[in-house]
Structure 1
Amino acid sequence: MTIDPIALAQALIRRPSVTPEDGGALGVLEEALTPLGFACQRLRFEEEGTAPVENLYARLGTAGPNFCFAGHTDVVPPGDRKAWSVGPFAAEIHNGKLYGRGAVDMKGAIAAFVAAVARDLDASGPPAGSISLLITGDEEGVAVNGTKKVLDWMRERGERIDACVVGEPTNPKALGDMIKIGRRGSFTGYLTVYGAQGHVAYPHLADNPLPRLVRMLDAITRAPLDQGNEHFQPSNLEVTTIDVGNPANNVIPAQGTATFNIRFNDMHSAASLEAWVRETFDAVGGAYDLRCVCSGDSFLTPPGPLPETVADAVERVTGKRPEYSTTGGTSDARFIKDACPVVEFGLVGQTMHKVDEHVALDDLLRLTDIYGAIIRDVFARIPARP
C-alpha cells in the first residue's frame, strides 16, 4: 500500500487540532495506519482541572525489539489569521511549499514516518520486530494528559519500547543539520517575599520586602551556574517577571513576587537546584515562600547505536553528517527517556509557531527517505531489551 506523505500531511493539517482539541487528526492517522496492519488504540486521559486529551498508540507486530516513533498532532493557535497569506488550516501548496499550522511542528514528520512504514512494508514485508507510534494531543499544552500518561498506561500493560525517534523539527537551517540526543531540563521558581505594609514616611513602622527580593534575585543571577560540558551548553537562569501590584507611591508594600526559570544541563538536578536556591535565599534572610516546579529533567542519549543509526540514515539521504546537539527547549522526549533510548529528528524548524508556517515538499519527501532508512537499519542495531 502506497501512502503519499504530502497528501497525508495535507489531510492532517486540515484538521484544526489546536491544543487540546483533536479536531479529527487522530482519526486521519487511524485511517492510514489500520490498513497497514497496525492495532490502534485511542487513549483519552483527563486530570482534574485540565481538559481531556485524546492520544493514539498504534503497534504493528508483537515481537521485540519495538521501535517507536513519537510525535504530536496538536498545534499552537494560528494567531491573527489575516496575517497569513493562506488559510492556516487550508494546507495549500505554493511554489513547492506546503503551508499550514503544523506543517513543520509536526504533522509533516508524522506523515513522512507513516509513508516510510508503508513503503518498507511493500518492499520488505513485516519488520523484524515491531513498529509503534505514540502520538499525543497534549504536547503544545500542559503535557499532563498526553505522552506521560500513555507511557504509564503502557507500563501497566507490560508494553515496552526499545528505541524511539521523536519527530520534532530539529534542523536549524537545512534538513540534515542536527539530531537532538538530549535536552536541558526546565526548573521554574515562584518566589514571594514578605514584609509589613506601612507609610513611606515612617519606614521604622513597616518592613519593606523589596530590597530583600532584589538581593535574592541578585544572588542567584550574579554568577553563571556552570560552563557547560562536552554535550551540553551552559545552564542559564532568567528572571521572567517581578510583580508588586502597588499603585501607591507612598505605601511600602507587604510583599513582592518574582518568577525565574533555569534551563539546566546534566551537571544539575531539580533537587540540587532547589537546595541551592533555598540556601541562597536563606542567606539573605527574611520571610519568603518558594514554590518549585520541574517540567522535565535534563537527559542525554550518548552517542551509540540509536544516534548512529539515525545519523547514518541522514547522511545516506542528504550527503552530510548531522551534528549531535542538546540545544533548544523541552519536548516529550523528556518523558520517553525513562522508557528507552530516545533521539529527535524531524524537519527544518525556521517557521514553526510562526505565521505562514510551511515545509518544502522536497524536505518532506527526503524526510520520508530518511525515516525509511532508519526503519531498514534499526532492527539489526537495536536489540530487544531483556
Structure 2
Amino acid sequence: MSVIDLTEDLVAIPSHADESTAGAFIAEWLREHTTGAVNRDSHGNVIARKGQGDDSLALVGHHDVVPPDGSQVDADGEYVVEQRDGRLYGRGAADMKGCVAAAMLAFRDADPAGELVFVSFVGEEQGGVGCQAAIEDGFAPDYAVVGEGATGYSAPGTTDVAVAHKGRRGSTLVAEGAAAHASEPDAGANAIYRATDAVDVVRGLDFPSTSVLGHEMSGSVAVTEIDGGSAWNVIPERCTVTVDERTVPGERAPLDRAEAVDGVTWRVDQDLPPMACGDADFADAVLDAAADAQDSAPEHVVKPHATDAGWLAQAGTDCVIVGAAEPGEAHTADESVSLAVIERCRDIYERVAESWPSE
C-alpha cells in the first residue's frame, strides 16, 4: 500500500466527534502490516513498538480532526476526499492524517537504530488530552519526531525541521465592583473602570522572549474580549477580560500584576506548553535526514502554534517537528496536502528511525 492510498483511507474516516473508528483502523493496520507490538489504550491512543535499544524514538501524530466545513461532507455525512493537481483534499489531510500515514509506513519499513515507537493520539484538537493521558500512564520516549506542519517555513515547498514552538496561555481578568443607579455613579464601584485599569496593566507588559538553538522567539500578549454591564442605566458590578498570551519556553508574561488593581482577580483557563528541543545533535540529525530527502535546503525553524510536542517536551522528551502541512493550510474549508510532500515525510521519518539514536 502506498502512502497516498493509506492517507486517502484515513482522511475518509470521520473523526471530529468520535476518533474511535479511525483509531481502530490504525491499530488493525499496524497489527496486519508490521511486526510491532500494538496497543490501543483505554483513552483511544494507538501505540506500537519495535526494535531494541537504550534510547527510544517516537514518530508522533494524532487522528482526531476539527469539525469539517459543510463542503467537506457529503449528503450521507461522509467526508469528501479527492485528488487534484498533485494534492489530496479533505478534512484532516494536512492536519495531520497524511503524516500519520507516512509514520505508519516508516514504522513498518524501518530497520530502527534503537527502540522505535509509533503513536497516534486522540484529543490533540481538544488541548492534547490524549497525549497528557498517555504521559500520565508512563509514556516517555527519549526522542520524538512530531508530524505537524513544517513545510514552507524557510522557503516555499521546503520541509523544514522545527526545533521549537510557542505555547498558548488563555486567561481571564475578573473585575468585581458594586452596582448602583447610573445617575449616582459614586454610590457604586464601576467594574468596567476597574477592568480597563487592568487592561492598561496588560498593555504595559513586555512580551516574553527567548532563544532556542540560536533562534530568537518572541511571544505576545493581547486582550481579545471584554464583557460587562447589565443595562444602560446601571453601574456595572462585574466585567471580564479575556487575554491571549503566546508563550515561549521558560518565560511567561507577569499577568498577575493586573491583580494590583482593586477588585481584579486573574485566572488561567488554558495553558498549552511551548516546546524547545534540548538536544542539538538530535535536531541536526533530523535536519540531515530532511536534507537527504529533498532537493531544497531545509533549515531549523520555529513554529507559532502549540502541538502535542509541548506536552512531550514538558515531560522530558526531546522533540522536533517535521510534517507536510504548510502555514495556513490546516482547519480550512479547502484543506489539502501535497502528495509529493507526504512521500517526502515518509522518507524523512524512515531515515531518522534508521540513524537515531546514533552510536
Q: TM-score, structure 2 length as denominator? A: 0.89
Partner Cα distance (1:31, 1:290) in 2: 47
Q: Within the alignment, does 1:25 sit opposite 2:14 as a pair?
A: no
User: Which residue is 2:224 aligned to?
Assistant: 240
User: Which residue is 1:181 aligned to?
Assistant: 163
Q: 1:185 to 1:358 in 2, by over 3 A?
A: closer
Q: CA deviation at 1:293?
A: 3.8
- Whether contact under 8 Å (1:98, 1:360) holds in the other structure is yes
User: How many pairs are equivalent?
Assistant: 350
1:12 to 5, 10, 13: 10
Query: For residue 203 of structure 2, what is the amino acid of its counterpart?
Result: T
What secondary structure, in the 3-state scheme, does the structure 2 residue paired with 1:366 have?
helix
- Whether contact under 8 Å (1:184, 1:232) holds in the other structure is no
Q: CA deviation at 1:372?
A: 2.0
2:341 to 363, 366, 378: 363
- Whether contact under 8 Å (1:243, 1:258) holds in the other structure is yes
Q: 1:379 to 1:225 in 2, by over 3 A?
A: closer
Q: CA deviation at 1:175?
A: 4.1
Partner Cα distance (2:78, 2:206) in 1: 41
Q: CA deviation at 1:57?
A: 1.2
User: Which residue is 2:58 aligned to?
Assistant: 68
Q: Within the alignment, does 1:345 sit opposite 2:325 as a pair?
A: no
User: Which residue is 2:115 aligned to?
Assistant: 130
Partner Cα distance (2:305, 2:228) in 1: 29
- Whether contact under 8 Å (2:103, 2:118) holds in the other structure is no
- Whether contact under 8 Å (2:144, 2:318) holds in the other structure is yes
What secondary structure, in the 3-state scheme, does the structure 1 residue paired with 2:91 have?
coil
CA offsets 1:34-79 (integer angstroms, 9 cap, x no match): 131111111123xxxxxxxx21111113443221111100011112
- Whether contact under 8 Å (1:184, 1:263) holds in the other structure is yes
Between stretches 255-264 and 88-97, larger displacement belongs to: 88-97
What secondary structure, in the 3-state scheme, does the structure 2 residue paired with 1:268 have?
coil
What secondary structure, in the 3-state scheme, does the structure 1 residue paired with 2:126 have?
coil
Percent of aligned pairs sharing the same letter: 26
Q: CA deviation at 1:309?
A: 1.4
2:299 to 312, 315, 323: 323
What secondary structure, in the 3-state scheme, does the structure 2 residue paired with 1:326 have?
strand
Q: CA deviation at 1:241?
A: 0.6
Partner Cα distance (1:371, 1:88) in 2: 30
Partner Cα distance (1:83, 1:90) in 2: 5
Q: Within the alignment, does 1:154 sit opposite 2:134 as a pair?
A: no
CA offsets 1:310-360 (integer angstroms, 9 cap, x no match): 111111121333232233111001111123211111003242111121112
Q: CA deviation at 1:213?
A: 0.9
2:241 to 258, 262, 270: 258
Q: 1:97 to 1:163 in 2, by over 3 A?
A: same
| TM-align CA RMSD | 2.3
Q: TM-score, structure 1 length as denominator? A: 0.84
Gaps of 5+ in 2: none
Q: Within the alignment, does 1:213 sit opposite 2:195 as a pair?
A: yes
User: Which residue is 2:268 aligned to?
Assistant: 292
Partner Cα distance (1:324, 1:128) in 2: 23
Partner Cα distance (2:54, 2:295) in 1: 31
Between stretches 294-303 and 249-258, larger displacement belongs to: 294-303
- Whether contact under 8 Å (2:51, 2:115) holds in the other structure is yes
What secondary structure, in the 3-state scheme, does the structure 2 residue paired with 1:207 have?
coil
- Whether contact under 8 Å (2:161, 2:290) holds in the other structure is no
- Whether contact under 8 Å (2:99, 2:147) holds in the other structure is yes
User: Which residue is 1:374 aligned to?
Assistant: 352
Partner Cα distance (2:354, 2:276) in 1: 25
Q: Within the alignment, does 1:91 sit opposite 2:94 as a pair?
A: no
Partner Cα distance (1:315, 1:128) in 2: 19
User: Which residue is 2:309 aligned to?
Assistant: 333
